[in-house]
Structure 1
């Protein structure tokens, strides 16, 4: 028997058959009608005898003789024998019952899906071995025959029973990890190539692990075809930025929110992503989810239409609709200063890193009016500390921290903990208090953003 880790990968490899009861033709004599279920077909087929034994061992035969209809991808005896040998099982009895059950169920789909109705794409099996107990995804590819998850080919199709249809396959369909799904889908081949370049095993090892769950935003081939890596970032850092570790974030759980990724800045701080669900699902306003909720045993994959580059502080200001007035102030209302260029600097090519205290739209709306450019420029500069990535953990706990000088020249103070629901309280350069930090640590490659509920005003007397 292999290591326990491999064993659990195996456990993600068995599949389940759904058996249902159906009615046959009336014999015209008023006697009870007979039915031929999927189980009956399996019993009558010599080359499916191990499948029948597996269904019996897993106590699925009675459960699966239901109304259905079901579609069953039925592995042959040789398929089961290869599976047992590959995973160091001496016999079917050596496979733990819970593993066997989920493996069998992974071969069953609700509904009657004849070969003529199958198309390339994802369907859900009846296995609930997916992250969060979700139904696992099966990838059907009909480009040359019918292949499931890139491992099992249909060798005999459309054997119909009263409660569904059976397609005989030449391999047991394993319970897929995120890596298995990526490898099986030809539209993700560029991603697989990037993940494994130069014999790199970091990503495949990570994303095959079942110790924790992952969310992967997987760029399709066309996305890689147009990606130019404008900031010459390490491609491994870019790939890490597409991974959320420790959580399977399904589409029905997403909202307008920031999440932390597996990519880090130079200090080891996890880079953030901004997810927006106002119209579909977009990431950093640059990449859209094209196929959601590809379910694996260790997480979920969302296929996206663009590679998501490492963010600057400007990225988040532009992506988050709560900062639309701030973006207008930094661009249209202050044309004499190229704030975007200044705040996009990274890797020491400017005044980076930056700590930005970003006022929300409501903060700007609370002003009697947005000042003219001459007065607005120093106000905006008063929200930026250059040359420092000051995270909330760098502030004085249960005390007051005075920031380094801002781009405008003044400092301001931050007091922890905050009052009135604020994470921290702020007194700006002009001495105004009652200002709150309401969100912290939106981490970019070139700095960090903290969110303010009030616009800061510098000292105008100095």
Structure 2
């Protein structure tokens, strides 16, 4: 990734990168998981799945391991998604045995990790761009967040449920293509919605609500099928404490959050395939008094709105045995930012925020009861193209900013904001 570009040095030009441009690995994508990699590792995906199918009886047709796995992974121009050992380690042994016991399904799962004839580095694909996998076993879609914090891929077999995996590390060049390591097995769904919430370290805080929510909602989440739920991240639930410090003991509030988070039974909202704009959206009905959940795209992100709260979709379309789970970065029904900070968090309202600050509206409209806003995260437009969290303004409420010595309308000095194309600067003198 180019972190800083167009630095002039006399007659020359310099561009800064976030990693060294290594020489490609001298082995093929097929050899990479079998100790022919920089760490000299033999991946469990190779040892337990690929090698098992290789040594199993093969059909004398084109649908066998030799034709559909070995040939493309040794051919020129291939993209291979390799699950990490941790990904296989999380799969219960009995579930893995069921997969291994079905060679036809195992072959489909293996080929879902292979895109033949394309060398796809993460910097060279678009957000929500999809590709057909080897043997036409299914489709794989890339997801790239606007702030570049991560890249995900979602893979689903034909007629099967999707699995979303994080790509890390990405873009390992091999002699005939590229290898991406992922943190899940694509196309292999083995957890229920409740198990997914409990197992993912980014959503475990939501599990506390499941033990306190109304019994019928908890039972519906454990239904055999038809479940769609939006799960707030741990950070989003922590931010709720700034608004309702004792929310975990508020039964009606917990019920409301759960109702907004769950769609009506047997409803589904697929986000991976959706790539519309802000004006075009899809929607579905939540469990809370028939209120709608709306989804749309803006930039390289997918957003959902529910209960007057907008949330960024962190990880969409996580297939589970009884439905689908979406991870989001806010809690439906509970705003965690006051009005001026919400305006500041929108790139397209930057000039509005500056003009408001000139006349003191940003301080006048702060919520004095809010100890801290949930920080916004966006990509700065400056030359460094850095990630910025919270920007350059205090994200505390009015009462807190006065106590901490930060700028407020009661300070002895007058504070103004001045803007340029790439920055927002706080001054302690009148603007000229």
TM-score (norm 1): 0.40
Choose 1 or 2 for highest CA Rg: 1
Tell me the TM-score normalized by structure 2: 0.42
